[in-house]
Amino acid sequence: MSAPERITIDVGAHQGVDVAPELWGLFIEDLNDALDGGLNAERVRNGDFEFSAADRDGWDALTAWHPDVAGQVEFRTDDPIHPNNAHYLRLTGPVAVVNDGWDGIAVTGGQAFRLSFFARAAGEPVRLVVAVDDLASTGVTVRPGGWHRYEATLVAVADGQGRLRVEIPESGTVDLDHVSLRPAGPDGEPLTFRPDLLEALKDLAPSFIRFPGGCLAHGLGLDNVYHWKTTIGPRHERVQLPNLWGYHQSRQIGYVEYFELCQATGATPIPVVAAGVCCQNTPGGPQAIGDDGMNAYIQDVLDLIEFANGSPDTPWGARRAELGHPEPFDLRYLGLGNEDEITDDFRDRYARIEDAVREHHPEICVIGTSGPQFFGRDYEAGWAFARARGTAMVDEHGYRNPRWFHQNVDRYLAYEPGPQVYVGEYAARSNTIRSALAEAAYMIGLERSPGVVRLASYAPLLARVGHAQWTPDLIYFTATEVLPSASYHVQAMFAGERGSRLHPVTLGGVEPEPVTLPKTGSVRLTSRGADVDYADIVLDGVVRQGVRTGPGGEPVELGDIDPAAATLELTATRRAGDEGFVVELGGESYLQVHVGSWQNRSTVVLRGDDGITNDDHGPLHWHGVPTGVPVRVKVRLAGARVRVWVDGELRHDYEQDLRPEHRVLAGATSRTAADGSTEYVIRAVNAHPTARVASIRLAEPLEPAVATVTTLAGAGPDEGRPFAASPVTPVVTTAAADTLDLPPWSFVTAVIRRIP
Ligand code: AHR
């Protein structure tokens, strides 16, 4: 290993600018089984028998349940426990059914669980035996008459992972619904949140929690919009919905549990309500709530504010008190919309809702939306709309590759005065150290832009191994384990040590790294979801033989190119399949031209660096690759300029982003400790194979001083992967206050204190 390079971190005097006090928070959406199957402590999956094919093809009321002892098992909907919980099971004994839970039901020896269900017997009382394999069991006698709720405690006799078994050992008929098994808390009451995941969230010391989405907030179609009022009250009465991520929403973590989660973690709530339109990804496009429904919808939004903050003398404050919370939840923010397409309908509905909130609750900070990317059509339109309306804050989202984050550490220094920013969703793609360090560099940039950026949250937060729809994620988990990613440790290091005053930092001895075009490369064709023939291929003026690509995704090489001066033309004809095809140009870094990306609905140019891709230009809506109809494509690379023609239309024409990367970066804040002394919080990223030793010079030195240093280091840039814990965890040491070791590929936080 080469000798460490020496750099300097000069920390200037405080210039009167304070750090955004609530900068680091969380965004929770029921994606990747984050809630049902995750944070929700419930162990019975589909305990309400409400799963259906609307959730996922092939699912029905018995999903996750299996008959065990052959007997009569019947579904019924007559006289249910509640109209919102229409399906129940009629069991006629002897019979048994088992529930798989989520990959089994994990128990530890001595652990108590609270079992509950609704049941009614026909005729005589019927004895049920309920057990988790041979790990825990209890008996309950179900009475005849109407529905009753039954409760019992099961205590596990050993560690293990089993299935919940409900048995009628002898004869008798029982109707069964809303079956629940939750770990008991210290008071013997069923837990709401899975404790280890709750601890992982608490360790992030979130200032706020955004909920319920994301896409989930505005739903796929108007009947899939998340209406908060349908998620409070007894769990078995809540409206359950298909989850647009391809599963089911039980709403067991509804709005009250969300506010309770905020209280449990010390976070302020940021609920997100639909801006009167459903998700822009709804097949056929976003739909708006009709004029006849808008007043009621606006009233729902105002009622949410009253539910959170109103005194118990108000109707919705009284409802909150009735649900066990006489004290308000201190709501100060309200998200309105999520990544919406900025259409006329959106503008109209958004304006009506925001106007009503301004009129009735001027104390609430409304957060607008600016599309799914840090740039592009909806970003521009969303920002123009927010500026014109004087919206207080705008939510920006972006999932990019690590290079982009290193290039954009100063993004917000250039923002004009106007609405402030909530970076509501961001992540560097991949779960590697490289990505975590890119996020750390970006977060230093966010911290030093408090005039603009007030709030930020990584996304997505939680993902159950084997049940994920989206990667990368911050925290993976199984039935028994919590697997924090390297990005999680970065978030915890930022949130765990916060200064309140911002200090300017001058970095000496290191320069931003230039980004260059690839020097050599080749052209490769692939078509993962289609059979495609390519003919009339001309590469840099040389005619090539026709080729075919198939759905296996194996690339076909066309030949070498100079990535700074190349021209490719070809005619592609899809023979079978649903998707389009991809033209890849370059070497280690490369461009990918996707013709028919995103369910064959767009064209886009991606750039890949270190094996991780980024949208470079687009996606742009397109009619898609038809079967049997030739599509002529021309790609021209000239220096940084990229042009792509499809059937003669110039669809992409842009310059590649060659701004340098800030791979070595530092930031500084200070705070006043309990004893009145000043403490400095220095953060530094070294996303580089070379170790560095930084001399720290404080404009107002503390002498004698010592530093508590937390270092995340020791793994190569490409180590770390989804569904596994980070290969490294932060290490805390005590060190001299004037020197900071920055190992290769590291993120370091040093808290410098005067020695008393
Ligand atoms: O975080 C996952 C999804 O990404 C969110 O639901 C949506 O807002 C974004 O597109």
pLDDT tens column, 218-274: 999 999 999 999 999 999 999 999 999 999 999 999 999 999 999 999 999 999 999
Residue type, 159: D
Residue 147 is classified by DSSP as -
Q: Ligand 1 within 6 A of 306 CB? A: no
| Both tokens assigned to 324 | 């066990």
Q: Ligand 1 within 6 A of 460 CB? A: yes
Ligand 1 closest atom vs CA 216: 6
Alpha-carbon span 189 to 131, nearest angstrom: 19
Give the residue numbers annotated as catalytic, written as ranges: 339
Ligand 1 closest atom vs CA 399: 4
Ligand 1 centroid, distance to 181 Cα (angstroms): 30
| Both tokens assigned to 696 | 């720290």
Angle of helix 291-309 relative to helix 315-322, nearest 10 degrees? 60
Q: Ligand 1 within 6 A of 29 CB? A: yes
Q: For the chain, percent helix, then strand, then coil, each to nearest 5?
A: 20, 40, 40
Helix (H) / strand (E) element for 741: namely strand 739-742
Q: Please, is 394 exposed, middle or buried when counting C-beta atoms within 10 Å of its C-beta (0-12, 13-18, 19+)? A: buried
Alpha-carbon span 139 to 115, nearest angstrom: 11
| Both tokens assigned to 482 | 């919590």
Which has the closest alpha carbon to 727: 738, 741, 717?
Answer: 717
Q: Ligand 1 within 6 A of 378 CB? A: no
Name, in order, each residue with C-beta under 8 angstroms of 232's C-beta and a sequence gap of 6 or more: 238, 254, 255, 256, 307, 319, 323
Closest residue to atom 9 of ligand 1, CA basis: 214
Q: Ligand 1 within 6 A of 219 CB? A: no
Alpha-carbon span 552 to 547, nearest angstrom: 15
**Pairing relationship of beta strands 649-655 and 521-526 according to DSSP bridges:** unpaired
Name the residue of 270, 338, 458 whose CB sits within 8 Å of the most ligand 1 atoms, as the mutation to test its pocket: 338
Alpha-carbon span 368 to 275, nearest angstrom: 9
Name, in order, each residue with C-beta under 8 angstroms of 287's C-beta and a sequence gap of 6 or more: 221, 222, 277, 278, 345
Closest residue to atom 2 of ligand 1, CA basis: 460
Please, are residues 391 and 416 in contact by the beta-carbon 8 Å criterion? no
Which has the closest alpha carbon to 335: 231, 491, 455, 462?
Answer: 455
Q: Please, is 472 exposed, middle or buried when counting C-beta atoms within 10 Å of its C-beta (0-12, 13-18, 19+)? A: buried
Please, are residues 574 and 627 in contact by the beta-carbon 8 Å criterion? yes
Cα angle 745, 662, 381 (rounded to 5 degrees) comes to 125
Peptide bond into 689 cis (omega under 30): no
Ligand 1 centroid, distance to 728 Cα (angstroms): 27
Q: Which is it for the CA torsion 346, 347, 349, 351, positive or negative?
A: positive
Q: Ligand 1 within 6 A of 425 CB? A: yes
Ligand 1 closest atom vs CA 338: 8
SS3 assignment, position 568: strand
Peptide bond into 704 cis (omega under 30): yes
Closest residue to atom 3 of ligand 1, CA basis: 214
Please, are residues 722 and 476 in contact by the beta-carbon 8 Å criterion? yes
CA atoms within 13 A on the CB side of 717: 20
For the stretch 418-444, what's the b/e string if a residue is b when 16 or more beta carbons lie within 10 angstroms of its beta carbon? Answer: ebbbbbbbbbbbbbbbbbbbbbbbbbb
Q: pTM for the full model?
A: 0.95
Please, are residues 115 and 105 in contact by the beta-carbon 8 Å criterion? no
Alpha-carbon span 180 to 24, nearest angstrom: 34
Residues lower than pLDDT 50 in the chain: none
Q: Ligand 1 within 6 A of 469 CB? A: no
pLDDT at 519: 83
Closest residue to atom 5 of ligand 1, CA basis: 214
* Alpha-carbon radius of gyration of the chain: 28
For the stretch 668-679, what's the b/e string if a residue is b when 16 or more beta carbons lie within 10 angstroms of its beta carbon? Answer: bbbbeeeeeebb
Please, are residues 142 and 152 in contact by the beta-carbon 8 Å criterion? no
SS3 assignment, position 518: coil
Name the residue of 29, 30, 216, 395 whose CB sits within 8 Å of the most ligand 1 atoms, as the mutation to test its pocket: 29
pLDDT at 1: 59
Closest residue to atom 8 of ligand 1, CA basis: 214
Please, are residues 582 and 591 in contact by the beta-carbon 8 Å criterion? no
Ligand 1 centroid, distance to 18 Cα (angstroms): 30
pLDDT at 595: 98
